[in-house]
Chain A
Amino acid sequence: MMRKANELTYLKESASQTAGPYVHIGLAPKQAGFDIFDNNFGSVLAGAKTKGEHIRIEGRVIDGSGTVLRDVLLEIWQANAAGKYAHPADRQAKPLDKTFRGWGRGCSDFETGIYTFDTVKPGAVIGRNRRPMAPHVNFWIVARGINIGLSTRMYFSDEAAANARDPVLNLIEWEVRRQTLIGQREVRKGKVVYRFDINLQGPAETVFFDV
């Protein structure tokens, strides 16, 4: 291809389109009702040997009428217990955990609308300009009726001091809205569960980020 001097040759990102009602076929075929791949990506991120505090994240995604979405797909991406991402761009001097990729994909249950992830609590990661970020899990949410994937973060209710200093939470001018990003810690039958509901609209609309 011939280029002209001083010509900017950027391309434009492809436009997003909704994941549609049948997103499960492509991204979670077992939930769509059939078995096709030997290896299925799923919502269990941590194995028995994964280091750190083993936790479950559980919640619902709720629309503007208060109805729970039963066809939503969520992905999470997080650091390991030491606060390092399993990715070559992360050059922090911290150990990787071979048993932990830090990525999971889950769907709301067709009956209850509840999604779950079984993972470990991440450590703190360095933020921009050397300001540490509080431990958090990055969320990406797609469904029928969602035209472009929604990005948000879950922080941890038992990290109040770190959350108060977190550079991203502090970007949110309305302190009351920061609460929408806090997963609430519970202990159920000895298992640590963080409840994290995501509201697409309404007075308690979850904070979504343009990343």
Chain B
Amino acid sequence: MKETNATYGEFYQRDRTIHPPAYAPTYKTSVLRSPQKSLISLQNSLSEITGPVFSADELGPLDHDLIMNYAKEGLPIGERIIVHGYVLDENARPVPNALVEVWQANAGGRYRHKKDTYIAPIDPNFGGCGRVLTDRDGHYVYRTIKPGPYPWRNNVNDWRPAHIHYSLSGSGFAQRLITQMYFEGDPLIANCPILRTIPSEAAVRQLIAPLDQNAGVQLDSLAYRFDVVLRGARATWFENAVQDDDAMERE
């Protein structure tokens, strides 16, 4: 396999101060599902700096169009939006060919899932999931319906702000990330027990997508801009402890 322009080195140590701790009792479900012993710190090997490689032919032509990819008899109900942005690494370089997978509730705040029993109805024309690969500039775009907020049983009157779930797969398995995108101006952001598991206010702000009206389609759709940052890799200037060149094939 030929190397591309991409550089593959150890990832920078993950900054755990910007991530939610495993144990966050205001989000009750985390209490019994959080490891209590310290994580064992591991310097990266090939097992961490490599990861699955995806190709465009694995995705269908409508996979990134949530307005059309489950439409049966008509269009889904709700605000039509475009979501776009860049997947970057901590060096501010684009991450090309990253797999971005998204899922969400419909406009009424109901998920198409066996386990969701909220009173708001399923939309017969809306599935609520999509996926797209970033291009060479790290850019991605998909089209969807703006999800609605919904109540959940944490405290009895907790509500999730409108959000879209994101799963990201970059070049290395140690970059694997799941997060959520929120919408600028949503008053429920201030009190969300899940968003508030994040200890850093700057890290919370980074998950809130601003309205990007220029990127919308006139008389059709609004747009939101959401960049995601994955871990950055170190350049191997002096030595490469991950794999010694003497032991490797010559190219």
Tell whether, in the assembled complex, residue A26 and residue B103 are in contact, meaning their CB atoms are under 8 Å apart.
yes
Contact in complex: B115, A71 (CB < 8 Å): yes
- Find chain A residues with CB under 8 A from B228 CB: 14
Interfacial chain B residues near A142, Cβ < 8 Å: 178
CA–CA, A138 to B49, complex, Å? 12
* B187 CB, min distance to chain A CBs, angstroms: 19
**A36: Cβ under 8 A from any B Cβ:** yes
Neighbour of A211 across the interface among B44, B204, B207, CB < 8 A: B44
Instruction: Give a binary string over A29-43; 1 marks a CB under 8 Å from any B CB, 0 the rest.
Output: 100111011110000
Within 8 A of A (CB), among B188-231: 194-195, 197-198, 200, 202-204, 206-207, 228-231
Chain B binder among A88-96, A113-121, A187-195: A88-96
CB pairs A–B below 8 angstroms (20 shown): A11-B89, A13-B18, A13-B90, A13-B229, A16-B20, A17-B207, A18-B29, A18-B194, A25-B103, A33-B114, A36-B70, A85-B46, A89-B3, A89-B171, A90-B243, A103-B51, A126-B244, A145-B30, A172-B40, A201-B33
Are B69 and A10 in touch, CB under 8 angstroms?
A: no
The DSSP consensus for interface residues of chain B is loop
Closest to A83 in B: B46
Residues of A within 8 A of B128 (CB): 25
Cα of A25 to Cα of B4 in the assembled complex, Å: 34
A92 in complex: contacting residue of B69, B165, B249, CB < 8 Å: B249
Contact (Cβ within 8 A) A85 B50: yes
Q: Compute how far the CA of A200 lies from the CA of B207 in the bound complex, rounded to whole angstroms.
A: 27
Partner of A17, one of B50, B113, B178: B178
| Nearest 4 Cβ contacts at the A-B interface | A26-B103, A145-B29, A89-B8, A103-B52
Query: Footprint of A on B, CB under 8 Å?
Result: 1-4, 6, 8, 11, 14-16, 18-22, 24, 27, 29-37, 39-53, 58-60, 63, 69-70, 88-92, 101-103, 111-116, 127-129, 131, 165, 167, 171-174, 176-180, 194-195, 197-198, 200, 202-204, 206-207, 228-232, 241-245, 247-249, 251
Asked if A209 and B46 make an inter-chain contact with CB atoms under 8 angstroms apart, the answer reads: no
Residues of A with Cβ closer than 8 Å to B? 9-27, 29, 32-34, 36-39, 63-65, 67, 69, 71, 75, 77, 79, 85-93, 96, 101-103, 110, 125-130, 133, 136, 138, 140, 142-151, 153, 168, 171-172, 177, 200-201, 205-211
Q: Is B18 a contact partner of A89 (Cβ separation < 8 A)? A: no
Q: Are B40's CB and A89's CB within 8 A? A: no
User: Whole-angstrom distance from the CB of B52 to the nearest CB of chain A?
Assistant: 4
Given the known inter-chain contacts A15-B207, A90-B46, A91-B248, please indicate yes or no for A23 contacting B103, CB distance below 8 A.
yes
Q: How long is the Cα–Cα vector from A32 to B69 in the complex, in angstroms?
A: 16
Residues A201 and B32 in contact, CB atoms below 8 Å apart: yes
For the complex with contacts A13-B177, A88-B2, A126-B243, 17 further pairs of A-B residues with Cβ separation under 8 Å are A10-B91, A12-B90, A12-B206, A15-B179, A16-B177, A26-B165, A33-B112, A69-B33, A77-B52, A85-B46, A93-B247, A138-B173, A145-B30, A145-B32, A149-B178, A200-B35, A205-B37
